[in-house]
Copies of this chain bind each other. A is one copy, B any other.
Amino acid sequence: MKYLGCAYYPEYWGVDRVETDAKLMKEAGINFARIGEFAWSRMEPQEGVFTLDWLNKSIEILNRYGIKVLMCTPSATPPAWLASAYPDTVIVKADGKRLEHGNRKHFCSTSDTYRRHCRRIIEVLCREMKKHENVIAWQIDNELGPEVGWCYCENCQSRFRAWLLEKYGSLETLNRAWGTGFWSMDYSDWRQVRLGSDPFHHYSSRNLDSKRFFSDMMIDYGMFQANIIRENHPGSIVTTNGMGPIYPHINYYQLFKDLDVACDDLYFDIGTMDADVAAMNVFRSIKPGKKFWITETGSGALDHNKPPHKKQFRAWAWSAWAHGSEAHFIFRWRTCLSGQEQELQGILEHSGLPRHRYQAVKECFNEFNDLAYELDRVSLPKAEVAIIQDYDVLWAYDSVRVGPAVNYLPLVYQIHKKLYARNILTDIIDPGQDFRKYKLIILPSMVMLDKEFADRLRNAVYAGATVFSIGQMGMRDKNNNYLPYPGPFELTDLFGIKIHGGMYLDSQVGVEEAIWTPEHRHGSVTVAVKGSVAGETLTGMASKWIADIEAIDCESLFTFQDEAYQYQPAVTEKRYGKGKAIYQGFLNGTVELEERIFDDILAQSNVQVKYQTPLHVEVVERDNFICVVNHLDRAVEVNIPSPVKAVLGTYEDGKCILEPYGVGLLRCI
C-alpha cells in the first residue's frame, strides 16, 4: 500500500499539538495526512480575511516527519458569515424552506455567489499550498451529494429549464419526450416547468430528468473546483472522495472521468463484506487500469456503535490491497471533543493518548511498509466477468410511482454476491465502457438501453462472450416511458425473444384479514418454473416479477407452470456467433434453482471457480501473489492448488491456514 494516511484537523487541535501528533503518526507508519475540508471558518474568519499561518506551519511540521498532504477545498462547510451575508448560497428544500447555518453541506451548488467565494478561497489556498513540496494532492469539497437534500431554489429551477432547453430544443419536444398527454401534463410555457422528484406524485420522466440534472450540476460544480486547482497548482493530483458501493445520486463514472484517481470513503463495517468488495470492484472499474484510493475508513466505532473486532482493521486493509487500492486513509487521527461527530472514534482517544486503536493501526501499517517494495509494483487484479451498472436504469427505477418490486441495486448486489461467494473477481462497469475483454457480461434489470450499446453487445457475443440478462430488459425508452412495441429494444435478434410485458408478484393485500381470496394470503406470491440444466430436470418458484416472453428464435430452458403465462418460456438461450445470449425472465427464483442456473452459465462461459471457501473467506490473485483473507470469527483452511510460499500467514500441505480474521499472502513459485 503506497499511501497510509489519516484525516487531520490542526485547525481544531491547534498548531502547538502538531509536532506531538506528527511524531506519533510517523511511528504508526502514516505517510499522508488529509487536511482542511472543514476548516473554512479558520482559514477565512471574515469575508476576504485569510489566516493560513496555522496551516502553513502544520504542513511544514508534517513535512519534517516525511508526511505528505492531501489538501482539501473547505467548501463542504461554509462559515456562518457566508450563509448569513449571502442567503442565496444556502439550499432551499422542496417545501420552500431555506436551511440555516449549523450543520454542513447546506450550500447550493449552482449559486454563482457561492462559486465566487469558493473560487477565492481555493485560489488563495493554491497559492500557499504550491509552496509546500509535501502537498501533492487535492480533494474537492467532501463527499459531494445531497447529504441534506437537493436544492430547489429558483436559481436551480432556472438552471433546470436551461438544461432541458439544451437537451430538447423546445417545449414541444419536451412534452413529447416526457409523454405529457396523460393527466393533462402538457407544458405551454417554460415557466411552468419545475424540478420534480416525487415518485408518487410526479411524472416518471420528469423525475428521471430531475435526477440527471442534479447529478450533472454536482459534477459541474466539482469540475469548476478542479479547474481552479489545475490552473493554480499544476502537477498536483486532483480528486474527490466518493461514497458507497454504488452511490445512487451522482454518476461516478462521469464524475471521476476527468479527475485523477477514483476515491471511496469505505467504512467496512457499514455493510456486509460482499458489499465492501462490490465497492472496491466499482472503484477499480471506474478508472480502468488505475489503482483506486480509500480516502476514509474507520479504525474504531461510528458514532454509538460497536467498533470492529481488533483484528478486522488488518483483514480489511489487506482486502483493500488485494482489490487494487493504493491508499488507505483513516478517518480520523483523534476523536473530536465537540460537535455532531464527537463519538466517531479516531485513532487516538479524546485525550490524545494512543491506546488500543493506535496499536492496531501501527501494527498493520508497519506491516505494509515492510513489504512496500514488493507490493507497490504489483499490477491490478484482472476480472473475467463484468456486471453492467447503469445510472440511467438506477434513476429510472427510483423515479416511478410504486416502490419497484424489481429493486435494482439489491439485484446488482445479489448477482455480485454470487460471484464474490465463488471468489470470482468482477468488474462493475458503466454501459459506455468497453466490455469486449470479458468472458461473461451480466445485465441486471437493464430496463432501458440504447442502440449503440445493443450493437456493441451483439458484437461482443458474436466474438465469443456470454451475455446473461435477468429481469426487465429493453422495455422503456430513455425517458422512462414504456415502448409502444414489444421489447427487448434492439435485442430481439440477439436473444431470439420478444417481451410483451410482465407480471409483478406482490399481492395487493398483505394483511391476513384483508385478502380477497383465502388462498393468496401473503404479500407476495410465487409462480412455478420447470426446466433442465445440464440434462437434469429442475423445478423452482419465481417471485417478484416474471416476463411475458414470446420465443422467436431461441431454446426455452425453463417454462412457467401456472398463472397467465403458463407454458411460456421462463429462461431462454440462443447461440449467437461464437457466444451465447441467456435471458432469465424472472426475479428472485428459489435459491437453489438460481444457483444451479448460475453455475451452468459460468461453466458455459468458461469462467472457472478456482477457490472454494466458506462465504466471507476471500481469495484474490494479483500477478504472482495470492491474497487470502478470512473475515470470519473462526479459524479456516483454504486449499491452494498451485505451489506457493507464504509471505504472510501459514501455508502447509497445500493449505493456507488462517486464524480468525487472519490474512495469508502467498507468492506463487
Which A residues form the contact surface with B (CB < 8 A)? 9, 11-12, 38-42, 45-46, 74, 77-81, 83-84, 95-97, 100-104, 148, 178-189, 191-192, 194, 196, 200-206, 268-273, 275-276, 301-307, 309-310, 312, 335-343, 345, 349-353, 355-356, 400-405, 475, 479-486, 500-501, 503-509, 513-520, 524-525, 548, 563-565, 615-616, 631-634
The complex places the Cα of A181 from the Cα of B443 at a distance, in Å, of 48
Q: Which residues of B have CB within 8 Å of A616?
A: 516-518
Could you tell me if A304 and B517 are in contact, using CB atoms closer than 8 angstroms?
no
Contact status B350-A196, CB under 8 Å = no
CB-CB under 8 A from A505, the residues of chain B are 306
Is the Cβ of B179 less than 8 Å from the Cβ of A269? no
Chain B residue at smallest Cβ distance from A355: B500
Interface centre among A45, A81, A192 (most CB of B within 10 A): A192
Q: Give every chain B residue within 8 A of A303 (Cβ-Cβ).
A: 401-402, 504
| Chain B residues near A353 (CB-CB < 8 A) | 486, 500
Give bound CA distance, A95 to B96, whole Å.
Answer: 11
**Residues of chain B lying within 8 A (CB to CB) of residue A269:** 508-509, 516
- Using A95-B97, A102-B206 as known contacts, list a sample of 5 further A-B pairs with CB atoms less than 8 Å apart, ordered by residue number in A: A181-B338, A269-B508, A271-B509, A305-B507, A353-B486
- A516-B273, A616-B518 known; A45 vs B188 contact (CB < 8 Å): yes
Q: Is the CB of A181 within 8 A of B42?
A: yes
* A482 adjacent to B342 (CB under 8 Å): yes
B482 touches A184 (CB 8 A): no
Contact of A517 among B356, B485, B508, B633 (CB under 8 A): B633
Distance in angstroms from A517 CB to nearest chain B CB is 6
Nearest residue, chain B, Cβ from A14: B181
Q: Is the CB of B192 within 8 A of A513?
A: no
- Please give me the residue from chain B that is nearest to A78 by CB atom: B184
Chain B contacts of A186 at CB under 8 A? 41-42, 45, 79-80
Tell me if B188 and A272 are in contact (CB < 8 A). Answer: no
Q: Which of B104, B302, B342, B631 contacts A481 (CB 8 A)?
A: B342
Distance between Cα atoms of A520 and B309 in the complex (Å): 10
Contact sample, A vs B, 7 pairs, CB 8 Å cutoff: A101-B192, A179-B337, A302-B508, A306-B508, A336-B482, A337-B481, A350-B483
Cα–Cα distance between A482 and B348 once the two chains are bound (Å) = 13
Chain B residue nearest to A38 in the complex (CB)? B183
> With contacts A184-B38, A508-B306 known, is A102 near B194, CB below 8 A?
yes
A356 to B632, CA, bound (A): 50
Say whether B516 contacts A338, CB under 8 Å.
no
* Contact between B519 and A342, CB atoms less than 8 A apart: no
CA gap between A513 and B485 in the complex, in Å:
39
B517 touches A632 (CB 8 A): yes
Shortest distance from the beta carbon of A8 to any chain B beta carbon, whole Å: 12
Task: Please tell me if the beta carbons of B506 and A183 are within 8 angstroms of each other in the complex.
Answer: no
